[in-house]
Structure 1
Amino acid sequence: MSAQIIDGKKLAELVRTEWSARAEKLIQLGIKPGLAVIIVGDNAASSIYVRNKVRACSEIGIYSEVHNFPQHADQDEVLQCIQALNQNPHIHGILVQLPLPAHFENNRVIASIAVEKDVDGFHHYNVGALVTGNTIFSPCTPYGVMVMLERNRIPIEGQHAVVIGRSNIVGKPMAFMLLEQGATVTICTSKTRNLQQFTKNADILVVATGKPRMVTAGMVKPGAVVIDVGINRLPDGKLCGDVDYDAVKEVAGFITPVPGGVGPMTITMLLCNTILAAERAQTGLKIR
């Protein structure tokens, strides 16, 4: 029997409808949630992501503005822009589109964003607070995965979760969020020796390596939940994930497709975090 497909696009639409009602309540109070996106350079993929985010904002009732800087822009110029946005009461969320050019210090740029406006969840405060379960804004991709598990009534407590990937954007925060919900968590990388011995024991397998179709059917425990965070473009132009979808779906209990799985949820959680930031601003909540 084939796995049950976790339709990220359908779930994203449902979650956006729920949160658009919260945005509407703020608008009725005279507060329109606002998101500012900063993009440096002309990275084609980044430009597509930004356009998708702007379009999603307009669909849910969020004001958005994009600040474009050339590839050779000075870092101080971008930092000044962030400081101005930090002080702008109409902007509740600030997102710096990664990757930045090589001459930028990523950590310094991200750290310059006010914690109350860090809707990407990358600020050191929010990342560190994941350890104690008190983060204000969870990183959007792991947050989206957690919502997928919750809405599909997939138990986490007591389950063995294996995360392949150790990035600051997905792997590490994903592990902490699963741990917070009571899972026993194993973190692997694409270079882990005998990787299959770990993945075969996973009740929940989250894959974020950036290696096309790396996880095969023989690496998956029958009935496991397989979450594919990767998205790769093949030489023929087609998109695929880090999981061999066609083969693994015949083994797994649940599986996310690529595209149409985790991707739509990532943007959705950014919108949710922006609305949450506006709600916190309306009530005067501050990080001290």
Structure 2
Amino acid sequence: MRTAEAAPSASRALVSRNRVTSALAAALAAAGIYAAFSGHTADDEAFEKRLARAEARIASDPSDIKALYESGQLKFLKGPSAYAAAAADFERAREGGLSEPKLFYYLGAVYQGLGLYDFAGDEYRRYLNNSPGDLDTRLSLAKIAYLKGDYAAAESMYAELASARPRDPVVLENQALAAWKNESAWAEPLAALRALGETPAGRADFVEGIIIHGSGDHARAAELLARAAASPDAGADLPDIWRRLADSRRRLKDDEGTMAALRSLLLLEPGDREASALLSRLEKAAARKKKK
């Protein structure tokens, strides 16, 4: 059974987008528009009316950089399907002479969401020229380095962040993953993560489970991943946890444990055909054994 390539801070993948979305939502709320992180709005009609007004202003005056900027913000809030349109509005606003430092950050966020990592990195660095201490942007740059496969740069960036924020669990778990991918020492940031308390310790089990699973020590990986699955902070990582746990248990020839993990995975992702097919094969084999 295939398992996903480890990504930096799996359940934290939306941290950057949520922070910038939160900032945008706060600004829009002042104007009576309330937006949720999911891309849907608490008042969809008001949201769409505001977007329609911005687009009408652009149609009337294509050089209206404030309308272009507002339209880009609103489209960003609509989610990934509107990122390309948001980027186009932001770029037109910049070409028109908009002087707004936050524009660089929004462009970085949409380009990152579109998978255009080089463009995103350029925009984030421009933003850091104005706000050099911005944690969210520095985290995003480190994540981009990781996603591009530049693990040495990612590890260096996360280590620098950890020096400034030694008790930040997001930084520590990403530092450990980057160090592992860079074939460097990953145990120290995980130890620091565990020392922060029960919830971060659950995160440490998950991250170490990924690392140990990748190393081939499936007995230890199964132990760590089972603990991670029981953690109340597992959240969005649960499908990945169950998938890796099923794989480790299968390699250990623990059919009952594998089936239990697959059933838990399929409760969360019923459309996973590979997991469903494997579970079906194992259940049929178990039924045949009982008949003998």
Q: What TM-score, normalized by structure 1, do the two folds share? A: 0.31
More helix by share: 2
Q: Which has the larger radius of gyration?
A: 2
Where relative contact order (Cα < 8 A, 6+ residues apart) is larger, the structure is 1
Larger fraction in strand: 1
